[in-house]
Structure 1
Amino acid sequence: MKKLLLLLLATLIAGSMWILLAKNPVSSSTSIQAKLADVKDYKYYLDKGNDAIGKSMTKLDLVIVEPIEMQQKYIVNAQKSGTLVYGYINAMEADKWNTALYHQLKQEDFYRDKQGERMYFAEWDSFLMNLTSTHYQDILLAEIEKQIVQKGLDGVFLDTVGNINSYLPKDEQKRQNEAMLSFIQQIKKRHPDLSVAQNWGFQTLADYTAPYVDFIMWEDFSYPVVGKDEWSLDMMQKLVHIRNKFGTQVMAIGFEEELKSRALAEKYHFKFFYSPAGSYYNSWQ
């Protein structure tokens, strides 16, 4: 009788544990972070695909694409093979080529300097944006819904986050950084299972966004640029600390001296991708 009671008790406990696990599964964020930690080969590519590119995507651990350009069939096939696919969203700039988004903008959405002038980037044909504008945030959130969520991508890659610290006066950076944090929190509130990544913005990451960001990209992680630079070496240590605390991985991209750049990245356990074309990601290499 005693053995029977113990058996029934064990069964009830096992059943209760199963119910708890069913109600509280391992979060997809934890799963994504585990996959990102294991990434070895990744690419950053912002143009259309073809059958050869699609096949190559299936062999990668991670790929960042422009979801407006990349055909859905290649995204789906890559994900079926276990490739993590992130979709590009330009957070702090509005590209004039993206007419569907650009035509929704109001004057309040553009950043203006103290003279009231907009900041234009001729190289990219884009304008610096004002993320404190709730209207602009709503446009971006709708773009994420349309281009990332509805297409079933694993995460959103927010480009130009680093513009806040690179181009804005010191006395304006806090408001924009707080707006970036609020924006990312809104993404996570609406789409808890969607992974978030950002390009540059190391101080923004350290002071604001790290708890919500699964990886940060470091472009021009080239040995001649960062190998002996005191600021860069200090930042590498800080990013290691952030990774240890929040699980935020570092995706480094080298433009020069591939072997030395890769060795430096591997020293800090950063993921590495070599792009001899620099910050133009329109050719599959």
Structure 2
Amino acid sequence: MRKIYIIIVAVLSICIWLLLTNNPKQIPRASTSIKEKLAAVKDYKYYLDKGNNTIGKEMQKMDLVIVEPIEMQQQYIEAAQEQGALIYGYINAMEADKWNETLYNQLQEDDFYKDEYGKKMYFDEWDSYLMDMTSAHYQDLLLEEIQKQIVDKGLDGVFLDTVGNIDSFLPPEEQVKQNQAMLTFIKKIKQHYNGLSVAQNWGFQTLANYTAPYIDFIMWENFSYDVVGEDDWSLEKIAQLEHIREKFGTQVMTIGFSNETQSRALAEKHHFKFFYNPAGSYYNSWH
């Protein structure tokens, strides 16, 4: 009897295997990871204003859209995600925008970055102030903002803008502690929100020396051929980003402001994603 039982079990196992093999739809497949989806991105958009029906339909054609979640309506976000688009929500990391009154009114004096003379750094073009990432209170405010604007709205990831301010505006002796604080903050995002995908804007040295293991894509604005095509610093950064991508899978999203054809060709040469925006660093127009 035992032999007959073993034979029956074996036959049933073979039948099940053949059934599954001939019906591939029944075979469970692992979901595609965020990193794989980002690697496959071809068309992406960076847009920081409200949507409408036309924009909503255009979003559905994209592989990736970075939005201002305070502005973009939930219906367009969800419709785009249903069509397979990745939606990342904008969070200003190293600056506080005065227009975002809900967040701005919660700031304390120690949340602002101050130079050796105790003076705040104000950006007139954006009506914003440079912030101090070493402030635990400020990090907590940003985490609450990510919860409200990114997690609660079901977005695929958070896009941290102005990370590059650390390299661009702070003296070398201040950069280390701000970079360390940025790394701590990004680790908190991962811990608090179940490994939520994180991207950053600029901050190449911050990426290389601190945040690369936790960043799924970095944005390079003004990746324009007349700016980066033959510049030694830019070519060095391109090589650095290629190395980081190979090691950590961090994709590079570039935006060209001029020389569209040459800029796109340069981006594609290095397998960077490219989006052309002749308006420069203003993303309030879809086209």
**Are 2:158 and 2:196, in contact at CA under 8 Å, matched by a contact in 1?**
yes
Alignment partner of 1:62 is 2:64: yes
Counterparts in 2 of 1:114 and 1:7: CA distance versus 1, 3 Å: farther
The equivalent residue for 2:25 is: none
- State the shift of 1:244 in Å: 0.6
Superposition deviation, residue 191 in structure 1: 1.1
Structure 1: unaligned runs, 5 residues or longer: 15-24
1:116 alignment counterpart: 118
- Measure, in 1, the Cα distance between the counterparts of 2:158 and 2:89: 5
Q: C-alpha displacement at 1:3, in angstroms?
A: 7.7
Whether the 8 Å contact between 2:134 and 2:178 is mirrored in structure 1 is yes
Which has more radius of gyration?
Answer: 2
| TM-score normalised according to structure 2 size | 0.91
Contact 2:49–2:68 at 8 Å: present in 1 too? yes
Shift of 1:88: 0.1
How many angstroms apart in 1 are the aligned matches of 2:235 and 2:163?
A: 21
Number of corresponding residues: 271
In the TM superposition, what whole-angstrom CA distance separates every residue of 1:150-209 from its partner, at most 9, and x where no partner exists? Answer: 000000000000000110010010100000000000000011242100000011001111
| Alignment partner, residue 81 of structure 2 | 79
- The corresponding residue for 1:256 is 258
Please state how far the C-alpha of 1:234 moved relative to its aligned partner.
1.0
Structure 2: distance between partners of 1:3 and 1:135: 71
Q: Deviations over 1:189-232 (max 9, x none)?
A: 01124210000001100111111100000000000000000010
The one of 178, 181, 205 aligned to 2:180: 178
Q: Aligned runs of 1:117-196 on 2, under 5 Å? A: 117-196=119-198
Among the aligned pairs, what percent are the same residue?
69
Residue 237 of structure 2 is aligned with which of 225, 235, 239?
A: 235
1:107 match:
109
The answer to whether 1:197 aligns with 2:199 is yes
The 1:5/1:249 distance shift into structure 2, 3 A limit, reads same
Query: 1:78-108 CA deviation, whole Å, 9 max, x = no partner?
Result: 0000000000000000000000000000000
The two structures have a TM-score, normalised by structure 1, of 0.92
Closer, same or farther in 2 for the Cα pair 1:136/1:5, shift >3 Å? same
CA deviations over 1:31-82 (Å, ceiling 9, x no partner): 0000000000000000000100000000000000000000010001000000
Q: Secondary structure at the match of 1:100?
A: helix
Q: Output the CA distance in 1 between the equivalents of 2:237 and 2:218.
A: 12
Q: Which runs of 5+ in 2 are unaligned?
A: 17-28
Q: 1:271 matched to which residue of 2?
A: 273
Task: Say what the alpha-carbon RMSD is for the aligned residues.
Answer: 1.8
